[in-house]
Structure 1
Amino acid sequence: MNAWFIVGAAHAAAIATAMPAEAHGPTETVTPHFEKAIPNIPGKTMKVVIVDYPPGGASVPHSHADSSFIFAHVLSGEIESKVNDGATETYRAGESWYEPPASKHLVSRNVSKSKPARLLAVFVLDSNEETLTTPIK
């Protein structure tokens, strides 16, 4: 396995502290998966998280770090998403979308009331950003 994809327990704990639990809804689980400075883009870092939604689970409306470009890919299940003024879309396993910097993620939820859903989110952001997600009040 490539060392780029291995995250030690201490490193994962450091990533988790950058994502405050209150920024997410009580029904989803966000697990840090990978973090690495991008060597040919000084000041930029890639952070990857996996979001697990139980049946009917949802995130609270939120924004992400202003510098972050996000690529989201559904690993399993179906996820409904609305970013900024865009339409509310349903994405199935194997489908993806992106969120430009300073976006508001107004809807993010598992469509199914009986099956879990899983999402991979890849952030490219300024290396000094400490908070990935902030609830919209």
Structure 2
Amino acid sequence: MKKFLCSLVLAALPLQVASADSQQHPHGSGGVKVTLVYEHQLPGMPNKSIKGVLVEYEPGGVNPAHTHARSALIYATVLEGAVLNQLNGGPIRTFTKGQNFTELPGDRHDVSANASETEPAKLLAVFVVDTDDTVLTTPIER
């Protein structure tokens, strides 16, 4: 499974430059831009799709705490800079360019932020998700 997900991420990386027809998602706040850059139904897996989401953090950018679609398995790779990440109340971890992390269905994403106040950061989140799940991220009310 890990080899399969790595292949999916590598296949989606060139899509980070997509812009004109990218779908913008306004749920980001505090200097975060989220863009759907890729979407494709998975052959041989009824009702399953892969969706690539580019997350761009301005210096000091913070995405609010959130959950993802219940079916979502996410493999995220940092493309630029450093990103702070906390899942399910666990430790806050810093991931730098080239490093990756996985989010499992039902995980709570407590911290999603740029680790730098002076440099931007980017990550590509590759979702394997039910095709009917159109809302990929839901902010947590605090």
Say yes or no: TM over 0.5.
Answer: yes
Aligned to 1:54: 58
- Structure 1's consecutive aligned runs of 4 or more residues displaced over 6 angstroms after TM superposition are 5-8
Identical-residue share of aligned pairs (%): 38
Q: Which residue of 1 aligns with 2:78?
A: 74
Write the letter of the residue equivalent to 1:49.
Answer: V
Gaps of 5+ in 1: none
- Partner amino acid, structure 2, of 1:62: H
Residues in 1 aligned to 2:40 and 2:76: alpha-carbon distance in whole angstroms: 18
CA offset digits 1:12-45 (Å, max 9, x no partner)? 34xx4xx4x1x32241001111000001211100
> 1:85: Cα distance to partner?
3.2
Alpha-carbon distance in structure 2 between the residues aligned to 1:68 and 1:25: 22
Structure 2 unaligned residues grouped into runs of 5+? 1-10
Say which of 119, 122, 137 aligns to 1:118. 122
- Structure 2 counterpart of 1:107: 111
Which of 26, 29, 41 is 1:25 aligned to? 29
Q: TM-score, normalised by structure 1?
A: 0.85
Classify the secondary structure of the residue corresponding to 1:55. coil
Paired residues, number: 127
In structure 1, how many angstroms separate the alpha carbons of the residues matched to 2:59 and 2:46? 40
Cα offset, 1:9, TM superposition: 5.0
The one of 134, 138, 141 aligned to 1:130: 134
The separation in 2 between residues aligned to 1:110 and 1:36, in whole angstroms, is 28
Task: After TM superposition, list the pairs within 5 Å mapping 1:2-21 onto structure 2.
Answer: 9=20, 12-13=22-23, 16=24, 19=25, 21=26
Shift of the alpha carbon at 1:122? Answer: 0.3
Asked if the contact 2:89/2:110 (under 8 Å) is kept, the reply is no
Residue among 94, 107, 110 paired with 2:98: 94
Aligned residue identity for 1:81: N
Deviation at 1:111, TM superposition (A): 0.7
Amino acid at match of 1:123: F
Match of 2:41 in 1: 37
Q: Is the 8 Å Cα contact of residues 55 and 116 (structure 1) preserved in structure 2?
A: yes
TM-score, scaled to structure 2: 0.82
Give the Cα separation in 2 of the matches to 1:125 and 1:63: 13
